[in-house]
């Protein structure tokens, strides 16, 4: 996710801003930029790539006088959402006059229509970003009072934002605002620092004001005057932060993986933001434009992916078959081009990749394109190779995933696959009412995940009981079979316990020979079709003395008494159960690995992005 830092005070701003950006690097980013106000002039530098590069360019391009004199500035690390990670798309962005600069976190959902209106009034845009549109809008309203201009502009904006804005005409002050994207103000001795994240400011001050949604603040060295969006004063308490700097980098969590697990309600909200058509009971997926002929010609879906992304595809298969009546196959991407894949113009190929750089998936994509299939991608990293080469697709908007174990990308992938199946389903067989029901389901997902996360302590206690195991089996059926595979993958990659995922029915075709009192089974026995058969499979495991840990639906009246160790997930439609269950399994794997003292964010032998075949 993007990061914001702003400074106004008595010390040179440049060094403080660059150091602040370094403190924000852990969030993941692909470009960076800085703006300083000095002597009635706005100075901007930005580049694709690292903060260190920005720092070098700053020292080479700006003279020492400017660097030592300017005491007001803003800076940003960007994680691309609209337009690739290039210098021109990096923040800060300026308005039409080039005298006002803005950094922004979040997504302006109606930026396309705002941009058209502004272009109609003669505005020229340099970048593909939503942020530049907001800068121009504020600039248009600016008549000498920046707070007025920001309030006026934000009334036209739909979406989320944390912003910091400076003007060459306003020495000694900046204006910040937030809605749905965090922003806080650090109050120091004759200096004030704003940031999207406490880690960027705690080396300067621990006195912090957390802005609420719809707050707008005029920030000077003396502190902050906070207003609401109608420019009426509001008061906000000053809090004291007691985090250590190292903890602050991970938002207070011990590991990135845990932070990313807990980010899932927000990540999922961002994934669905602006994409539900609540009028027609469908989904707006702007990157998936097909001609009516292409759409009508699709006979089959082929999903290509590796690892966790492949497991997401296996769940997606159920969505496409059930909602869109489309036969769907899931292919291990590494295998695809080494056989003779019978694929062509009637096949919709969906390549799924968090990083968008996985070599096996990329090679399969090239093969599918070459064979004339319609190829789209589902990536998290904007501008990644797979996203670029497929041209069409949907971004997850889950925010950067830093922990090697994929967590929030998986749940966002499931949500996008559900929305894609909804879109195709509406054009093939689903009624508007059925579509509206699925929209309602999609909207409920962040809340369901929040509920599941409340089980964290209970799951940690169960993890302590199982942390010494050497082997583990995970079993599930139907939609929960791929989740069993994913749960086992999570456990083995971060805890180094040998874990295998099996279809619950498959256990008795061989693996059951391995069960005894030292080999636990984690059974996914939630309230989805096939549950009773899974209960029978649990009996079979118990009869071999295997300890069984079951994931069940909270309140399910049919739970057999023999279940002792239980993880509960909230009731939901079967379609959403993979999401709640996987969150519980992510927590279980995390706590087992923590108890075993494993290096959770960087497990041995693994890389976040696998760019070799």
Residue number with CB closer to ligand M6R (93 or 408)? 408
Cα gap 262→367, rounded to integer Å: 37
- Strand 192-195 and strand 184-187: the pairing is antiparallel
Cα gap 16→7, rounded to integer Å: 7
- The region of 155-163, 401-409, 452-460, 541-549 touching ligand M6R under the rule CB under 6 A is 401-409
Q: Do the Cβ atoms of 95 and 140 come closer than 8 Å?
A: yes
Minimum CB separation of residue 306 from ligand M6R in Å reads: 4
- Residue for token pair 């994207």: 181
The DSSP output letter for 180 is: B
Cβ neighbours for 440, distance < 8 A, ≥ 6 positions apart: none
Minimum CB separation of residue 454 from ligand M6R in Å reads: 24
Among 167, 199, 308, 390, binds ligand M6R (CB under 6 A): 308
Among 307, 313, 341, 446, binds ligand M6R (CB under 6 A): 307
Cα gap 263→577, rounded to integer Å: 18
Among 4, 48, 107, 306, binds ligand M6R (CB under 6 A): 306
Residues in 190-219 that interact with ligand M6R by CB under 6 A: none
- Residue 367, phi then psi, degrees to nearest 5: -65, -45
Residues in 551-610 that interact with ligand M6R by CB under 6 A: 606, 609-610
Q: Do the Cβ atoms of 190 and 2 come closer than 8 Å?
A: no
**Site size with ligand M6R, rule: CB under 6 A:** 17
Residue number with CB closer to ligand M6R (309 or 452)? 309
Minimum CB separation of residue 609 from ligand M6R in Å reads: 6
- The region of 16-24, 171-179, 262-270, 403-411 touching ligand M6R under the rule CB under 6 A is 403-411
Residue number with CB closer to ligand M6R (181 or 309)? 309
Residues in 222-241 that interact with ligand M6R by CB under 6 A: none
- Residue for token pair 């992938």: 413
493 binds ligand M6R (CB under 6 A): yes
List the catalytic residues: 2, 608
Cα gap 224→235, rounded to integer Å: 10
455 binds ligand M6R (CB under 6 A): no
412 binds ligand M6R (CB under 6 A): no
Residue number with CB closer to ligand M6R (192 or 412)? 412
- Residue 528, phi then psi, degrees to nearest 5: -130, 165
Cα gap 361→378, rounded to integer Å: 11
Token pair recorded at residue 30: 């692909």
404 binds ligand M6R (CB under 6 A): yes
- Residue for token pair 């899932």: 264
In the chain, % helix, strand, coil (3-state, to 5) comes to 40, 25, 35
Question: How far apart, in Å, are the Cα atoms of 526 and each of 241, 377, 505, 570?
Answer: 41, 31, 15, 10
Q: Most distant CA pair in the chain: distance in Å?
A: 81
Residues in 357-376 that interact with ligand M6R by CB under 6 A: 358, 361
Minimum CB separation of residue 481 from ligand M6R in Å reads: 17
Token pair recorded at residue 559: 């739970």
- The region of 15-23, 220-228, 349-357, 447-455 touching ligand M6R under the rule CB under 6 A is 349-357
Residue number with CB closer to ligand M6R (558 or 611)? 611
- The region of 218-226, 252-260, 354-362, 552-560 touching ligand M6R under the rule CB under 6 A is 354-362
Among 94, 192, 309, 328, binds ligand M6R (CB under 6 A): 309
Residue number with CB closer to ligand M6R (103 or 405)? 405
406 binds ligand M6R (CB under 6 A): yes
- Residue for token pair 């950094």: 103
- Strand 207-210 and strand 184-187: the pairing is antiparallel
Nearest one of 78, 45, 42 to 60, comparing CA atoms: 45
Among 181, 196, 355, 534, binds ligand M6R (CB under 6 A): 355
Q: x-or-dash pattern for ligand M6R, window 98-137, by CB under 6 A?
A: ----------------------------------------
Residue number with CB closer to ligand M6R (318 or 590)? 590
The long-range contacts involving 148-155, CB below 8 angstroms and separated by at least 24 positions, are 148/231, 150/175, 150/177, 150/216, 151/216, 151/227, 151/229, 151/230, 151/231, 154/179, 154/216, 154/229, 155/229
Cα gap 549→541, rounded to integer Å: 11
Among 151, 209, 373, 405, binds ligand M6R (CB under 6 A): 405
Query: Is residue 454 reached through a cis peptide bond, with omega within 30 degrees of 0 on the bond before it?
Result: no
Residue number with CB closer to ligand M6R (142 or 336)? 336
- The region of 78-86, 275-283, 315-323, 400-408 touching ligand M6R under the rule CB under 6 A is 400-408
Q: Which residue is nearest to ligand M6R (CB)?
A: 307
Residue number with CB closer to ligand M6R (167 or 309)? 309
Is residue 16 within a helix (H) or strand (E), and if so which, with residue range? helix 13-24
Residue number with CB closer to ligand M6R (485 or 507)? 485
Minimum CB separation of residue 308 from ligand M6R in Å reads: 3
Among 81, 127, 353, 534, binds ligand M6R (CB under 6 A): 353
385 binds ligand M6R (CB under 6 A): no
265 binds ligand M6R (CB under 6 A): no
Among 43, 167, 181, 354, binds ligand M6R (CB under 6 A): 354
Nearest one of 63, 21, 55, 19 to 38, comparing CA atoms: 63
- The region of 41-49, 168-176, 402-410, 583-591 touching ligand M6R under the rule CB under 6 A is 402-410
Beta strands in 114-222 (DSSP E): 161-167, 174-179, 184-187, 192-195, 207-210, 215-220
- The region of 301-309, 421-429, 525-533, 555-563 touching ligand M6R under the rule CB under 6 A is 301-309
- The region of 15-23, 303-311, 448-456, 514-522 touching ligand M6R under the rule CB under 6 A is 303-311
Question: How far apart, in Å, are the Cα atoms of 164 and each of 48, 78, 206?
Answer: 20, 14, 20
Task: Using CB under 6 A, list all residues that contact ligand M6R.
Answer: 306-309, 353-355, 358, 361, 404-406, 489, 493, 606, 609-610
């Amino acid at each position: 996710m993007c990061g914001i830092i702003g400074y106004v005070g008595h010390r040179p701003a440049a060094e403080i801003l660059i150091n602040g950006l370094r403190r924000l690097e852990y969030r993941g980013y692909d470009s960076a930029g800085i703006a300083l106000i000095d002597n009635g002039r706005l100075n901007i530098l930005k580049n694709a790539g690292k903060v260190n590069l920005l720092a070098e360019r700053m020292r080479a391009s700006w003279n020492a006088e400017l660097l030592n004199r300017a005491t007001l500035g803003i800076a940003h690390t960007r994680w691309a959402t609209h337009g690739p990670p290039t210098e021109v798309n990096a923040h800060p962005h300026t308005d039409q006059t080039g005298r006002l600069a803005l950094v922004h976190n979040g997504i302006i959902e109606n930026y396309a229509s705002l941009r058209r209106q502004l272009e109609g009034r003669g505005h020229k845009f340099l970048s593909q970003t939503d942020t530049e549109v907001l800068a121009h809008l504020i600039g248009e309203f600016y008549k000498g009072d920046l707070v007025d201009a920001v309030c006026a502009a934000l009334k036209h904006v739909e979406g989320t934002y944390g912003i910091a804005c400076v003007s060459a005409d306003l020495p000694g002050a900046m204006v910040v605002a937030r809605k749905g994207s965090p922003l806080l103000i650090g109050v120091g001795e004759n200096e004030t620092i704003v940031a999207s994240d406490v880690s960027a400011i705690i080396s300067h001050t621990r006195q912090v004001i957390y802005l609420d949604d719809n707050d707008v603040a005029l920030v000077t060295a003396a502190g902050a005057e906070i207003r609401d969006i109608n420019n009426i004063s509001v008061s906000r308490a000053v809090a004291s932060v007691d985090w250590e700097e190292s903890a602050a980098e991970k938002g207070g969590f011990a590991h990135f993986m845990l932070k990313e697990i807990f980010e899932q309600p927000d990540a999922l909200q961002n994934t669905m933001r602006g994409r539900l058509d609540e009028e027609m009971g469908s989904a707006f997926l702007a990157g998936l434009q097909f001609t009516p002929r292409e759409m009508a010609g699709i006979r089959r879906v082929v999903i290509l992916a590796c690892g966790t992304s492949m497991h997401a595809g296996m769940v997606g298969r159920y969505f496409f078959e059930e909602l869109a009546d489309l036969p769907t196959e899931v292919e291990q991407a590494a295998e695809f081009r080494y056989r003779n894949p019978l694929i062509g113009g009637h096949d919709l190929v969906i390549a799924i990749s968090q990083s968008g750089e996985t070599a096996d998936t990329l090679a399969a994509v090239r093969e599918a394109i070459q064979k004339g299939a319609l190829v789209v991608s589902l990536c998290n990293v904007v501008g990644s190779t797979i996203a670029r080469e497929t041209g069409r697709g949907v971004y997850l908007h889950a925010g950067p995933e830093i922990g090697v174990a994929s967590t929030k990308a998986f749940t966002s992938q499931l949500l996008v696959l559900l929305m894609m199946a909804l879109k195709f389903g509406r054009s093939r067989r689903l009624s508007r009412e059925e579509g509206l029901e699925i929209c309602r389901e999609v909207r409920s997902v962040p809340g369901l995940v929040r509920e599941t996360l409340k089980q964290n302590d209970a799951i940690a206690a169960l993890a302590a009981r199982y942390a010494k195991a050497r082997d583990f089996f995970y079993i599930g059926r139907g939609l929960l079979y791929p989740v069993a595979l994913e749960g086992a993958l999570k456990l083995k990659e971060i805890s180094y316990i040998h874990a295998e995922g099996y279809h619950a029915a498959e256990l008795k075709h061989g693996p059951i020979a391995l069960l005894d009192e030292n080999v636990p089974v984690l059974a996914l026995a939630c309230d989805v079709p096939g549950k009773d058969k899974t209960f029978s499979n649990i009996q079979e495991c118990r009869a071999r003395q295997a300890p069984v840990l079951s994931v069940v639906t909270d309140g399910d009246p049919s739970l057999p008494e023999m279940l002792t160790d239980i993880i509960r997930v909230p009731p939901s439609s079967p379609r959403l159960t993979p999401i709640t269950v996987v969150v519980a399994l992510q927590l279980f794997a995390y706590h087992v690995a923590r108890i075993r003292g494993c290096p959770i964010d960087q497990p041995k032998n693994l890389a976040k992005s696998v760019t070799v075949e």
